[in-house]
A = this chain, B = another copy of it.
Amino acid sequence: MTTEPSPDPDAPTGLLDRARQDYRDLAARGLSLDLTRGKPAPEQLDLSADLLDLPAGRHTAADGTDVRNYGGLQGLPELREIFAEALQVPVEQLLALGNSSLELMHDCLVHALLGMVPGAESRWVDQERIAFLCPVPGYDRHFALCERFGIEMIPVPMTPDGPDMDVVERLVAENAAVKGIWCVPKYSNPDGACYSDGTVARLAAMATAAPDFRIFWDNAYAVHHLTDEPAEIADLLAACAANGNPDRAFVFGSSSKITMAGAGVAFFGSSPANVRWLLAHNAKRSIGPDKVNQLRHALFLRDADGVRAHMDRQRAVLQPKFEAVQRVLETELGGTGLAAWTRPKGGYFVTLEVPDGCAKEVVRRAAEAGIVLTPAGATHPYGDDPRDATIRIAPSYPGLADLEQAMLGLTTCVRLVGYEKRPAH
């Protein structure tokens, strides 16, 4: 965060008057802009236009497999090879599956609830209480899965190095009901933090009361850099194995924000035992993933260098948008004491912190002026941000001009609500 949010008690009333006038002007413009979700923009999807003609008549994988037919539960080897490096998973422990990593996280929860993960003493559904640690702010769809399955969520504060590991270590050590933790380790959703080597080492080594504890390692932004200094994170899977906890990590990834958001390929990587476990469950559910789409992706991306080159083109579209967000925030809110925000070096989001008790009202006022934001609170379990201070900004989808308009409008709402809530004196 660049500044600490604390309304300046000496701010002149003129600031509120100006904010009110700016808001009236904003509302009068009848905007219709959307900053809600981390959706790729059409220009980003255009970068993968070749996928719309591939596999161009081909239907045979490198190993001779007819990709059109049933089978191949592990996914196409040549595509798994392309992603093994970025996801830090040995290719033989990496599965290429459907079009969504969220589905894989859902299904891993289902299989742990209704089956037994390696190391478990019973099905999770048969236990009195199950809880997951939720670093906050975090990703609302992770929280929605827990809520849907009745898994209790325990918030853990995020730091710039990942979750507060003192808190994590204490909670997992003292309570066997704590079965997992949600992690977006690189360019985290929404605050863009990257887990430090120390955080990864402690996650891999920590003692857990539950023998079947799992780290849901949602490496959604593994190659989604916004600067010339791509973040590197430590290899969790290797660290877990080295610490005698080989089955602790479930690694998830996908090409949704690399190629096409709805028509990409999702990946699961883990220990050999966990991979066998998921394959055994998938064998009952599926006659194999869409291998034609996997061949399409392998032909298009070619290799890990191909992914890097492609992500440079993605960055060329995204970086100006993230810069515009910073520019508007700095120009409009810098020095006001009303806001602090993140400067992510990758990923899809900027976190904006407004004075306590203001986030919901800012989002409401913005919506009234035609600017839709992710609901305030969505970054916290049960939609409950106790400070009501966190707003997630998703700059990817709108065009640059729309984005600037939306950000200006948003900052107007922050000024309006911030100065309105400022204690009278």
Contacts and interface: CB of A to CB of B under 8 A. Distances in A.
Interface of A: 37, 39-40, 42, 45, 48-49, 51-53, 55-59, 66-72, 98-100, 102-103, 106-107, 110, 113-115, 125, 141, 144-145, 148-149, 256, 260-263, 281, 284-293
A261 B52 contact: no
A286 B103 CA distance: 6
A262 B290 contact: yes
Contact of A289 (B72, B114, B262, B288): B262
Nearest to A106: B285
B293 A263 contact: yes
Contact of A114 (B42, B115, B141, B149): B149
Contact of A110 (B114, B141, B286, B292): B114
Contacts of A292: 51-52, 260, 262-263
A23 B191 CA distance: 71
Contacts of A286: 100, 102-103, 106
21 contacts: A39-B70, A45-B66, A53-B57, A67-B263, A68-B261, A69-B260, A70-B262, A98-B99, A100-B286, A106-B284, A110-B110, A114-B125, A114-B149, A148-B281, A148-B284, A261-B287, A262-B288, A262-B291, A263-B291, A263-B293, A293-B293
A220 to B, nearest CB: 12
Contacts of A51: 292
A214 to B, nearest CB: 18
A140 B67 CA distance: 24
Nearest to A288: B262
A261 B288 CA distance: 9
User: Chain A's interface: helix, strand, loop or mixed, by majority?
Assistant: loop
A65 B49 CA distance: 16
Given A67-B262, A141-B284, 12 more contacts: A40-B69, A42-B66, A45-B69, A52-B292, A102-B285, A103-B285, A110-B114, A114-B149, A115-B148, A145-B285, A148-B281, A262-B288
A293 B290 CA distance: 10
A260 B68 CA distance: 5
Contact of A99 (B53, B59, B100, B290): B290
Contacts of A281: 148
Contacts of A107: 285
Contacts of A144: 284
A191 to B, nearest CB: 21
A149 B37 CA distance: 36
A221 to B, nearest CB: 16
Interface centre among A49, A98, A145 (most CB of B within 10 A): A98
A150 to B, nearest CB: 8
A295 to B, nearest CB: 9
Interface centre among A37, A51, A52 (most CB of B within 10 A): A52
A104 to B, nearest CB: 10
A262 B52 contact: no
A287 B100 contact: yes
A356 to B, nearest CB: 30
A69 B293 contact: no
Contacts of A66: 42, 45
B290 A102 contact: no
A105 to B, nearest CB: 9
